[in-house]
Structure 1
Amino acid sequence: MASTNRRGALSGGAQPILVLPEKTIRQRGKDAQRSNISAARVVSQAVRTTLGPRGRDKMLVDDLGDVIISNDGATILDEMDLEHPAAKMIVEVAETQDDEVGDGTTTAVIIAGELLKEAEDLLDQNIHSSLIAAGYDMAAEKAPEILESIAEKIDFDDDEKLKRVAMTAMTGKGAESASKKLADLAVKAVKNVAEKSDAEYEVDTDNIGVEKQEGESLEDSFLVEGIIIDKERVHPGMPRLVKNAKIALINKSLEIEKTETDSEIRITDPDQLKSFMDHEENTLKEMVDKIADTGANVVICQKGIDDMVQHFLSKRDIFAIRRAKKSDMKKLSKATGGKIVTNVDDLTSEDLGEAGVVEERKISGEEMTFIEECKEPKAVSILIRGGTEHVVDEAERSVDDAIRVVAAAIESGKIVAGGGASEIELALRLREYADKVGGREALAIGGFANAIETVVRTLAENAGLDPIDVLVDLRSKHESDGKNMGIDVYEGEVVDMMEENVIEPLQVKTQAMKSGIEAAKMILRIDDVIAAGKKETPSMPEGGPGASGGMPGGMPGGMPGGMA
């Protein structure tokens, strides 16, 4: 509820002091807390039905009529046009989760929303928000320890388990029908770019390019041990196929440089004009000769290539692409071993990259350049095929998730059971911890455990199962049969998730909790919301600017800006 923004006492007939502008909206105390909690929970509820193998999709239509169909939490929230600041903070949870590990965005948002719901119940019991936040802090500190204790190791060479990690990430998404094929591509791609340092591996997923093209089916997607560039050669006279390619990577336009200052050339007869043009042509030819002398038969240029240079390159049977993206240039350098040069004069044979094949191919009517058969490439590409634009878009998001989770599993070397197994085990152990802590903070820790269990409850609801029966059964099995018991949403039974190969990286779980709890605590601590009133745009007089006799902007007649 908005309260007045006039503050201050009257003294000797003095007027009230205006502290805030007239149209400022202000909410304080429990009103502010409940408003923020409600807004955050609305966002959480919006993506809740997308969780799990039986999750549903959302259709998002923007103001231009463009359609996105997805059940990826980060994509859905990114496309939603939200106004409330607390709701935007929940979207940041999904963005953080997506940036860090690439998967678990829906889980993180659900946890954040449920933590706020539990906090609201505790506020109704007159427990102060500071005590709730303190309890949440204690739970957040304990949770990673518990997850670490139930995690299992995964080996870099265990391709089968890594594929299962990728398939788990793709389960329930649009690309699930081809999950085996796409998971295999994701694992191969990640292992290609992984670099070992001491006993650990580092994976820069930016070195994996994902291109998409409609046509054929998802099963026809493939990995290129090199780079795919969505460009065609600049001149039809150039060879379409180059074998044993020597590749020059140039970060400079191949054309006559313009002078920094304006200049003028006075020509008095045709011979002078011809001489000038011949000189320019010779300069461009010398540029091509320098490139050819290094042994290069392929040129990838980040900037423009002059028409005359294109002609000379084609005469030398050199394949060339212009205006390649900066990110593609970096990937090419890693894939081919070439060095990006900024001056043709500095180019040497040692700077050239190598590839077995460089070829321009037509894929679904679009020309694309494939640079493949690279020796030990540290950058690779995946080309995703599919029947429609929406199919390949969703498959691209699924493959991106798969790549990120495989990378997370390799980097951390730890995995946990999926299907709600790790959440139930965590909730049980947190309740034991709460009993030891005691006090009002213990209630907040118990609320944290309830919020974590909501992930399992949601999995069951989305599969059409009774969530109460599922939770009771899972708790019982965890106390008797172990930490890996989860819900098989297809059969409605409690089974060992590790045996069923439903596996997730430890990093996805820990990050989901960190992101969710930090956002929940931040929203919970807010007890005063001051929102400025929207500024009104001054109305335009009839007849357009200046119709009233003054200058545009409402200035009086005379000089612009009211100057006399």
Structure 2
Amino acid sequence: MSSFPGTIAFDEYGRPFIILRDQDKQKRLTGIDALKSHILAARQIANTIRTSLGPKGLDKMMVSPDGEVTVTNDGATILKMMDVEHEIAKLLVQLSQSQDDEIGDGTTGVVVLAGALLEQAGALLDRGIHPIRIADGFELACHTAVKHLDKIAELFPVSSENKEPLIKVAMTTLGSKIINKCHRQMAEIAVNAVLAVADLEHKDVNFELIKVEGKVGGRLEDTVLVKGVVIDKTMSHPQMPKELKDVKIAILTCPFEPPKPKTKHKLDVASVEDYKLLRQYEQDKFKEIVNLVKNAGTTLAICQWGFDDEANHLLLQQQLPAVRWVGGPEIELIAIATGGRIVPRFEELSPEKLGKAGLVRELVFGTTKDRMLVIEECSNSRAVTILVRGGNQMLVAEAKRSLHDALCVIRSLIQEPRVVYGGGAAEIACSLAVAAQADHLASLEQYAYRAFAEALESIPLALAENSGLSAIHVLGEVKAKQSSSGDPALGIDCMATGNINMRDQHVIESLRSKRQQLLLATQLVKMILKIDDVRKPNVPER
């Protein structure tokens, strides 16, 4: 049997021709129509997200099918929660996600830039330029822009003694977020958290040692950095001590219960004596388990599973504080922080496998007496937890997302300590450099170069629009001043301070983030411009 997806038929002259299966049920776009459809879809996505760019950008409210509400201006989160149907729109969602995975910041800017590039490509297509020539021209222009970025980037001092420059970069990142009313405090927390776990010698940051925990209630200003691990649990029994010092922790992934026979056989209890024997067996087993834990020198047991009231009461009698139902990620973090081993069987527990901490205490919040457990002064003091507070779940979730962006930017600076200036200054500088290079080209690519330079201006334009300024006038003024002075630190004054010099305003961005935005956006646009045939099943609209 042939797997050919069609049928061979013959015309009146006996000449064979192929009938492809289900052609009448397929919707097909080809040539310029397909490219125009792609550009339109990308522009709609970019225009939707454009208004959330910059420190005065607006937030979006996303409502899930379950009615769950999310308010955010984080590009990756907005796009991830948007229910997009068009294939090119889905590619833009993935573009934003890849920027988030790689850098953690610039997720809105990269989509706005990609949308602007495709809009410019549409104008070039109308002038009859072949899409491949446009795509190649964009790629060459991108290399010119990236080279210019490297030229204008400045070395950045990263040291644990002088944190102020890092705090200023974190404040630039947090300035566009919902939590900017206390962004100095949040920036300090983010910097201290990264420096606590960073290896400055090898330029490496282990993000697994930073945990961001949220608790509804209190104000954003109550957010704190804890040098240790915070878990949203309490002691298993209310009469167990609320504070322990010089603690030896057994980290268990086995339940506090008698072993069950792993067979299909059942145990029938037919008489009172049988029941008493079974109860006695259970009690003996419980005592044996607790003694195994106690004899190893344990002063606190942390268990991944639950245990019943009988085991709980026995632990209290034996003066062995315990915490139950601790999740897998928390178990791992506690093991890293305290230097303990995760033990899967009670018989394997030994003194050298215990974790060590200087202090374990319960935190109590508000009138509802919400409790959390803090493990501090650990043997591996590098593990830290940021405890985020906020008036509602939405605010806590957005604060966690914002802090994640700040942490990622600081990590990028440790890995590559070079910066460019924000407020659209870097984009304007690159735009001028690309436009100047276009004048030296005799080939058709000069049109793509000028289009690329114009697309780069979409970022400062969006910043000016979102700040309520006259966008074209402001952009023209800054471009003229940058062109005459050659200072790449002149950008859009979003905060209306009267100062367009971003160096004085301390508006600084990571070079790595900006470079990645240019490269990813150009790569995606080049790929889209090469798609000129789209086939999909013609599903009737409901």
TM-score (normalised: structure 2) = 0.92
Q: Tell me, yes or no, if the aligned pair for 1:226 and 1:373 is still in contact at 8 Å.
A: yes
- Counterparts of 2:441 and 2:267 in 1: how far apart (Å)? 86
Shift of the 534–437 alpha-carbon distance from structure 1 to 2, 3 Å rule, reads same
Q: Whole-Å Cα distance in 2 between the matches of residues 481 and 493 of structure 1?
A: 20
CA RMSD of aligned residues (A): 2.4
Q: What's the CA shift for 1:320?
A: 1.9
| Aligned partner of 1:516 among 512, 516, 521 | 521
Looking at structure 2, the residues matched to 268 and 456 of structure 1 have their Cα atoms a distance apart, in angstroms, of: 82
Give me the whole-angstrom Cα distance separating, in 2, the residues matched to 1:24 and 1:63.
30
- Counterparts of 2:259 and 2:203 in 1: how far apart (Å)? 45
| Alignment check: 8 A CA contact 2:223 2:388 kept | yes
Report the 3-state secondary structure (helix = DSSP H, G, I; strand = E; otherwise coil) of the residue aligned with 2:256.
Answer: coil
What is the 5 A alignment of 1:156-555?
156-157=159-160, 158-196=162-200, 199-266=201-268, 269-364=271-366, 365=368, 366-479=370-483, 480-491=485-496, 493=498, 495-534=500-539
For the residues of structure 1 that align with 2:186 and 2:360, how far apart are their CA atoms?
24
Q: How far 1:41 moved relative to its partner?
A: 1.0
Q: Give the aligned residue type for 1:521.
A: K
Q: In the superposition, relative to structure 1, how do residues 494 and 449 fare at CA in structure 2: closer, same or farther (>3 Å)? A: farther
Could you tell me whether the CA contact under 8 Å between 1:255 and 1:304 is conserved in 2? no
Percent identical residues: 38
Q: Which amino acid aligns with 2:219?
A: S
CA deviation vs aligned residue, 1:130-188 (integer Å, no higher than 9, x gap): 11111122233333332222222221333111111111111132100010111111111
| 1:20 aligned partner | 22
2-side partners of 1:510 and 1:250: how far apart? 46
Contact 1:213 1:363 in 2 (8 A): no
Instruction: For 1:133, give the aligned amino acid.
Output: A
Alignment of 1:68-83 (within 5 A): 68-83=70-85
Q: Deviations over 1:365-385 (max 9, x none)?
A: 332211123345232111111
Cα distance in 1 between the residues matched to 2:146 and 2:319: 59
Helix, strand or coil: the match of 1:228? Answer: strand
The letter of the residue matching 2:264 is: D
Counterpart amino acid of residue 12 in structure 1: E
Change (3 A) 1:123 1:512: same
Determine the structure 2 residue equivalent to 1:11.
11
Shift of 1:241: 1.9
- The 5 A counterparts of 1:57-136 are 57-136=59-138
Q: Which moved more, 1:414-423 or 1:245-254?
A: 245-254
Residue by residue over 1:305-340, the C-alpha shift from the partner in whole angstroms, topping out at 9 and shown as x without a partner, is: 344332322223222222322211222122222222
**Alpha-carbon displacement from aligned partner over 1:439-475 (angstroms, at most 9, x marks no partner):** 1223222222221211011111111222222222222
Partner Cα distance (1:69, 1:43) in 2 = 18
Q: CA deviation at 1:252?
A: 2.6
Question: Larger deviation: 477-486 or 185-194?
Answer: 477-486
CA–CA distance in structure 2, aligned partners of residues 8 and 43 of structure 1: 43
**2:43, 2:119 within 8 Å by CA — same for their partners in 1?**
yes
**Alpha-carbon spacing, 1:242–1:28, altered in 2? closer, same or farther (3 Å):** same
Range with bigger deviation, 236-245 or 109-118: 236-245
Contact 1:465 1:492 in 2 (8 A): no
Q: SS in structure 2 opposite 1:127? A: coil
Give the drift of 1:21.
4.5
* Cα deviation, residue 76, structure 1: 1.3
The one-letter code matched in structure 1 to 2:11 is S
SS in 1 for 2:241: coil
Q: Is the Cα contact below 8 Å between 1:178 and 1:219 reproduced in 2?
A: yes
- Contact 2:499 2:505 (8 Å CA) reproduced: no
Deviation readout 1:237-265 (Å, 9 max, x if unpaired): 32222122211212233323333321233
More displaced, 257-266 or 383-392?
A: 257-266
Contact 1:224 1:382 in 2 (8 A): yes
**Shift, 1:492, TM fit:** 6.5
Deviates more, 1:23-32 or 1:461-470: 461-470
The CA deviation string for residues 356-397 of structure 1, in whole angstroms up to 9 with x for no partner, is: 221233324332211123345232111111223332222222
SS in 2 for 1:464: coil
Structure 1 segments unaligned to the other structure (5+ residues): 538-564
Distance in structure 2 (CA, Å) of the matches to 1:406 and 1:72: 17
302-311 vs 21-30, greater mean Cα deviation? 302-311
List per-residue Cα deviations over 1:515-536 (Å, max 9, x = no partner).
2222222221111111113389
SS for the counterpart of 2:468 is coil
Judge conservation of contact 2:134–2:448 (CA < 8 Å) in 1: yes
Amino acid at match of 1:147: L
Letter in 2 for 1:74: A
- Distance, in Å, in 2 between the alignment partners of 1:122 and 1:77 is 28
| Equivalent pair of 1:487/1:493 in contact (CA under 8 Å) | no
Q: Residues 288 and 442 of structure 1: is their aligned pair in 2 closer, same or farther, counting only changes over 3 Å?
A: farther
Structure 1 SS opposite 2:457 = helix
Give, in whole Å, the separation in 2 of the partners of 1:54 and 1:98.
21
Contact 1:474/1:494, CA 8 A, preserved across alignment:
no
Indicate how the Cα distance of structure 1 residues 262 and 481 shifts in structure 2: closer, same or farther if over 3 A, else same: same
Give the partner amino acid of 1:278. Q
- The separation in 1 between residues aligned to 2:451 and 2:170, in whole angstroms, is 32
Tell me the matched-pair count. 531
Q: Is the 8 A contact 1:168 1:503 kept in 2?
A: yes
Cα distance 1:376–1:441, how it changes in 2: closer, same or farther (>3 A)? same
Aligned-pair distance for 1:10? 5.9
Q: Which moved more, 1:523-532 or 1:359-368?
A: 359-368
1:249/1:301 contact within 8 Å kept: yes
Indicate whether 1:31 and 2:33 are aligned. yes
One-letter amino acid of the structure 1 residue matched with residue 321 of structure 2: F
With normalisation by structure 1, the TM-score equals 0.88
Deviation per residue, 1:272-317 (Å, 9 max, x gap): 4323332232222222211112222122222333443323222232
Relative to structure 1, is the Cα distance of residues 265 and 19 closer, same or farther in structure 2, using a 3 angstrom cutoff?
closer
Give the secondary-structure state (helix, strand or coil) at the position aligned to 2:477. Answer: helix
Task: After TM superposition, give the deviation of residue 113 of structure 1 in Å.
Answer: 0.4
